[in-house]
Structure 1
Amino acid sequence: MLEIFVLGYCLYFFLTIYTSFMQIGFVKNAKKLQPIILDNEKYEVAANYSIEKEKISIVSSFYSFLIFIFWISYGLNILDSLVSFESTILKAVVFVNLFIIINWILGLPFDLYSTFKLDKKYGFSNMTPALFIKDTLKTGILFLVFGSAVIAIISWIISTLSSWWIWGFVFIFAVIIAINMLYPVIRDKMFDKFEPLKDKELEAKIEKLLDEVGFKSSGVFSVDASKRDNRLNAYFGGLGSTKRVVLFDTLIEKLSHNELLAVLGHELGHFKNGDIVKNIGIMGFVMFVFFAIFGNLSEEIFLGLKLQNESYAIITVFLIFSPILSFFLMPLISLISRYNEYAADEFGSNMQSKEDLISALLKLANENKSFPLSHPIYIFFYYSHPPLVERFKELGYDVHQNNNDDALKDSIFNLKTHG
């Protein structure tokens, strides 16, 4: 049985490497073509950024594969010999925490390189060493406190209840819902500075838009995302009474009122179409499948890893192998997501206008330096949103026109008169 999981990891490793190489080759060739969506300079910059990211991904994948081999060959057994407690729950908490912390430390060089080298090179990251350390300490404290509590409860469920995987699924699913509900509150209290919009005219327009679709929120907020990153973004955070509209300060600075409303109209499309509930349902189904698999593992797996079939080992095996299952399930989930994005685009363009949504998407692509073209196999595995080319096509915008202000104005004029 262990051999099947290891073979699955090897296939996962091969596919990640293969898709990265295919993407690099594709972008290198596309880089030579007439720029679309982005202006000439940003088209080349975005291509270079995409290529560099994939090169790092390849190195990271090889590195992760070596770490995987280490863990299943020697590492887990060594850690097991070092962590010795009579209490099953205490052993699970210490063992799993150490496993996660060691993996985090081993992956830290890539995180540092991406944040302080690659993203700064391309004008994204504003992160300072002091802020990075501060964020890391806060995240670490949250993990040790709440993560340890979750590990302890799951360990108790595994050790005490029959058909534990059903109850474990119910508990973890409830935890995920709680995290989604509390996420904006935690971000507000510990990481970001949430403020009511200073632009009261924009706030009134957003509130009107929310009322039109019946979206009840606890407020519209601006967040100082630019202290970490220059990318543009917005999101609806929380569930129930904690729901709020959050706009990055970078987005407010770069987009006009109508463009912002078009972007929010797209997000409201997900709410109106029931995508949020659907996504929670899909997440629950996937999680249930995971627990059904890892809750009925053969004794041979633990013998092969030289571990006892106890809660600490079950949780660790779950952490090691669940990303493989996620990778192979993602194409189906992403296919559903891409379909939902088209519907949300249609809703957003009807709430505001196609012209405003197109203009907003063009600015987002240029400011975020998002290369507009990707290899089909890369899209198949990684794209939860449709490629920009396809989104613009559905909105009636010809991406092959010259990317300048006059061409954009002409295109929008044609949409107004013929669309």
Structure 2
Amino acid sequence: MLEWILGLYCLYLLIKLYAALMEIGFVEKAQRFEPVILSAVNYTKAAAYKIASQKLLLTTTLYDFILFFAWIGFGLRRLDEIVIFENTLLNSAAYVLVFSAINYLLTLPFEIYQTFGLDKKFGFSTITPRTFVLDQCKSAVMFVLFGGAFFAAMVSIIDTFKDWWIYGFVFSFAVVLFINMIYPIVIVPMFNKLTPLQDETLQGAIERLLEKAGLHSSGVFCLDASKRDNRLNAYFGGLGRSKRVVLFDTLIAKLTTSELLAVLGHELGHFAHKDILKNIAASALMLLVMFALFGNLPLALFESLHVEPSAHAIIALFLLFSPVISFAMMPLFGLMSRYNEYRADAYGSECENQEALRDALMKLADENKSFPFAHPLTIALYFTHPPLTKRLERLGMHFESSTKDACAH
């Protein structure tokens, strides 16, 4: 069993490395073509950022590979020897928290480089060291308090029920739904300032748009995203009565009212087509598959790792190997998501008009420096949205065939 796990992880590693190398070569070639969608300056910057991001991905993938084998080879066993409490529940919860803390600290340098190195260099990140440290501290406190409680509950479920993975899945999925419900009204305000939209004309137009779609929200809010990042975005957050419209201040500053309504119309398209429920169902399916796999691990695996088949060992293996399972299932979910995005674009066009949505998408790409082309393998493995050129073509825009043909290869 251990040989199978190691083999699958190596395959996962090789596919990620190969895809990143293909993407780098693809973008290096595509950046020499005549710019489309983005301004000439931002087209060049977007290509450079994409290449730098893929090189960082190569590094972090190899680093994760080393960490994985360190944990499998001796880390789990050594941690079991260090974390010792008489109370079984406390011992298991502490083990998982220490395991998570070590992983966090070992990967923190890459997050710091991404934020203060790469994103600062390309003009995205506006966060100060003080805000970054405060964010990390808040996240750590929340993780210890709520993560500790969650892990303790999972340990109890594993130790109590024979078919624990069924009950564990139900409990975990309920927690996911609860977090989604409270996210915009509890978690977001801990990190960002949310204020009711001050532009009464814009708010009225948004409310009419929501009413037409049959969506009842708890309000329209502006989020001070610019204190951390210059990227543009908007989203509908929450579930049930906690649903609210959240607009980044960067988005309000850059888009016209018509363009902004087209973007919100696109998001409403997901609501109208019940894409949110579909995504929840897809997430539930992925989570169920993971629990079914890790709820039926053979004892021989734990013996080969020289660890007891304890609740905390099962959770640690779950956390270590879940990225591989998610990666394997992502192409299918990505295909479904890209189809949903096309339908949402059509809905957004009907809410406003095709020209407004086209202009909004082009502004978003230019401001966010999103390179408009990608290697087909990258699209298949990672993209939840279709390439921008394909979306714009569906919205009536045409590109030079020479550029399209060159980037298609």
* TM-score normalised per structure 1: 0.95
2:184 alignment counterpart: 184
1:93 alignment counterpart: 93
1:413 alignment counterpart: none
Unmatched 5+ stretches in structure 2: 402-409
Does the alignment pair 1:387 with 2:390? no
Change over 3 Å in CA distance of 1:364–1:400 after alignment to 2: farther
SS at match of 1:70: helix
Inter-partner Cα distance in structure 2 for 1:36 and 1:211: 36
Displacement of 1:54 in angstroms is 0.5
Inter-partner Cα distance in structure 2 for 1:387 and 1:309: 45
Displacement of 1:310 in angstroms is 1.1
1:208 alignment counterpart: 208
1:335 alignment counterpart: 335
SS at match of 2:222: strand
The CA deviation string for residues 175-225 of structure 1, in whole angstroms up to 9 with x for no partner, is 000010011112343111000111110000000000001000000000000
- Segment of structure 1 superposing worse, 18-27 or 65-74: 65-74
1:306 alignment counterpart: 306
Inter-partner Cα distance in structure 1 for 2:375 and 2:205: 39
Unmatched 5+ stretches in structure 1: 402-419
Does the alignment pair 1:155 with 2:177? no
The CA deviation string for residues 331-390 of structure 1, in whole angstroms up to 9 with x for no partner, is 000000000000000000011100000000000000000000100001110100000011
1:288 alignment counterpart: 288
Inter-partner Cα distance in structure 1 for 2:222 and 2:187: 12
The CA deviation string for residues 56-93 of structure 1, in whole angstroms up to 9 with x for no partner, is 11111111111111111111111110011232211111
**RMSD in angstroms over aligned alpha carbons?**
1.3
The CA deviation string for residues 216-275 of structure 1, in whole angstroms up to 9 with x for no partner, is 000000000000000000000000111000000000000000000000000000000010
2:242 alignment counterpart: 242
Displacement of 1:306 in angstroms is 1.2
SS at match of 1:99: helix
SS at match of 1:222: strand
Displacement of 1:128 in angstroms is 0.6
1:5 alignment counterpart: 5
Whether contact under 8 Å (1:232, 1:250) holds in the other structure is: yes
2:269 alignment counterpart: 269
2:399 alignment counterpart: 399
2:172 alignment counterpart: 172
1:407 alignment counterpart: none
SS at match of 2:84: coil
- For residues 1-400 of structure 1, the aligned pairs below 5 Å read 1-400=1-400
The CA deviation string for residues 261-314 of structure 1, in whole angstroms up to 9 with x for no partner, is 000000000000010111111111111111111000011111111111110001
Inter-partner Cα distance in structure 2 for 1:342 and 1:88: 51
Q: Which amino acid aligns with 1:272?
A: A
* TM-score normalised per structure 2: 0.97
SS at match of 1:236: strand
Q: Which amino acid aligns with 2:163?
A: S
Inter-partner Cα distance in structure 2 for 1:189 and 1:349: 32
SS at match of 1:217: coil
Whether contact under 8 Å (1:392, 1:399) holds in the other structure is: no
SS at match of 2:245: strand
Whether contact under 8 Å (1:260, 1:360) holds in the other structure is: yes
Inter-partner Cα distance in structure 1 for 2:53 and 2:32: 19
Whether contact under 8 Å (1:88, 1:311) holds in the other structure is: no
Whether contact under 8 Å (1:37, 1:399) holds in the other structure is: no
Q: Which amino acid aligns with 1:278?
A: K
SS at match of 1:32: coil
Q: Which amino acid aligns with 1:123?
A: G
Inter-partner Cα distance in structure 2 for 1:275 and 1:229: 28
Whether contact under 8 Å (1:307, 1:313) holds in the other structure is: yes
The CA deviation string for residues 13-37 of structure 1, in whole angstroms up to 9 with x for no partner, is 1111110000000000000111111
Change over 3 Å in CA distance of 1:344–1:3 after alignment to 2: same
Whether contact under 8 Å (1:168, 1:291) holds in the other structure is: yes
Inter-partner Cα distance in structure 1 for 2:211 and 2:149: 39
1:415 alignment counterpart: none
Inter-partner Cα distance in structure 2 for 1:265 and 1:353: 10
Q: Which amino acid aligns with 2:167?
A: W
Whether contact under 8 Å (1:88, 1:155) holds in the other structure is: no
SS at match of 2:235: strand
Q: Which amino acid aligns with 2:41?
A: E
2:406 alignment counterpart: none
Inter-partner Cα distance in structure 2 for 1:99 and 1:124: 32
